[in-house]
Structure 1
Amino acid sequence: MEREVMDLDAYVARTRTGPCYICAFLAGEPDYRHETVYEDDAHVAYLDRYPTLPGKVLVAPKAHIEHVVRDLDEAAYSRLMLVVRKVALAVEKVFAPERTYLLSLGSAQGNSHLHWHIAGLPQGVPYERQQYHALMTENGVLASTAQESADTANRLRRAIG
């Protein structure tokens, strides 16, 4: 897929001064719409709006939780991680990556709502473009149409079952 430059200044401003984007997405605000690939009573998984790798998905609890360790008891953490695993297995089934990256990012300063990134590294990516390089929006984001995103979400939903 083709890459495009991302307006990082606008993104940072939106994450630091706008509403919690996950809460806004869950409330149905149109400016924060994402393609949902999985949902249960407590969690949601959706396509990353600014993907750096094909089929990059984010998984979040529906409740506004900010700390991955101290704000979840063991049972809630385990349930969240089982959702992350379920969605990651679908990413692997659909995209057959060389490696699947799982990480939680964000901070109190921006994107504070707890979320996990699931990113499948395609086969054959040169080593110097793997790992953090592959995840950094500074290196461009994948250009995709709304229809391509909808198709990807459908493929992932079918793989999740």
Structure 2
Amino acid sequence: MEREVMDLDAYVARTRTGPCYICAFLAGEPGYRHERVYEDDAHVAYLDKYPTLPGKVLVAPKAHIEHVVRDLDEAAYSRLMLVVRKVALAVEEVFAPERTYLLSLGSAQGNSHLHWHIAGLPQGVPYERQQYHALMTENGVLAPTAEESTDIANRLRRAMG
């Protein structure tokens, strides 16, 4: 997959002035579609719209929760993390990464809906391009076609059984 430059100004404007993208996605609003890879009553996992690594997946609670520690009781946190683990294991099965990164990012100023990033670092990436460098959209994003995204989602769903 080719990398393309991401319009960071447009992204920031959308995340800071638009609706919560996860809530909009779950409501089926046009322009907020994502390829789902897993869903249960309380959680959803979907392909990142701006992936920096192949098969990058986001996992979120369906409820609009903003803080990873304060807003979840122990049982809800454990259930969410079991979904993160299930999806991460599927990413590992499908992509055989050197390392799997798990991060909860976002801000009260934009992308406030709690979500976890699952990103598999491909084998052989030079050390200086690993870790945060591999995750930063400033270094370009992958541009999978709709067919490639559907294929990735299907492979991940099969891996999760």
1:68 is displaced (CA, Å) by 0.2
- Give the superposed CA RMSD: 0.4
Q: Could you say what secondary structure the match of 2:6 adopts?
A: coil
1:111-156 Cα distance to aligned partner (Å, 9 max, x none): 0000000000000000000000000000000021011001100000
How do 1:5-154 residues align onto structure 2 when only pairs under 5 Å count?
5-154=5-154
Distance in 1 between residues matched to 2:137 and 2:155, nearest whole Å: 24
Give the Cα–Cα distance (whole angstroms) in 2 for the partners of residues 30 and 79 of structure 1. Answer: 29
CA distance in 1, matches of 2:50, 2:73: 31
* Structure 2 spans left out of the alignment, 5+ residues: none
Q: How far does the alpha carbon of each residue in 1:91-122 deviate from its partner, in whole angstroms, 9 at most, with x for none?
A: 00000000000000001000000000000000
The separation in 1 between residues aligned to 2:102 and 2:93, in whole angstroms, is 16
Structure 1: runs of 5 or more not aligned: none
Aligned mates of 1:30, 1:153 — CA distance in 2 = 20
Q: Which has the higher strand share?
A: 2
Question: TM-score under structure 2 normalisation?
Answer: 0.99
| 1:8-41 per-position Cα deviation (integer Å, ceiling 9, x unaligned) | 0000000000000000000001210000000000
Paired with 1:144 and 1:58, the residues of 2 have a C-alpha distance of: 16
> Deviations for 1:54-84, whole angstroms, at most 9, x for unmatched residues?
0000000000000000000000000000000
Cα separation, 2, equivalents of 1:20 and 1:143? 23
Residues in 2 aligned to 1:99 and 1:120: alpha-carbon distance in whole angstroms: 6
C-alpha distance in structure 2 between counterparts of 1:84 and 1:109, whole Å? 24
The SS at the match of 1:114 is strand
Tell me the secondary structure at the aligned position of residue 54 of structure 1: coil
**What TM-score does the superposition give when structure 1 sets the normalisation length?**
0.99
**Runs ≥4 residues deviating over 4 A:** none
Q: Distance in 2 between matches of 1:146 and 1:65?
A: 29
Identity of aligned residues (%): 94
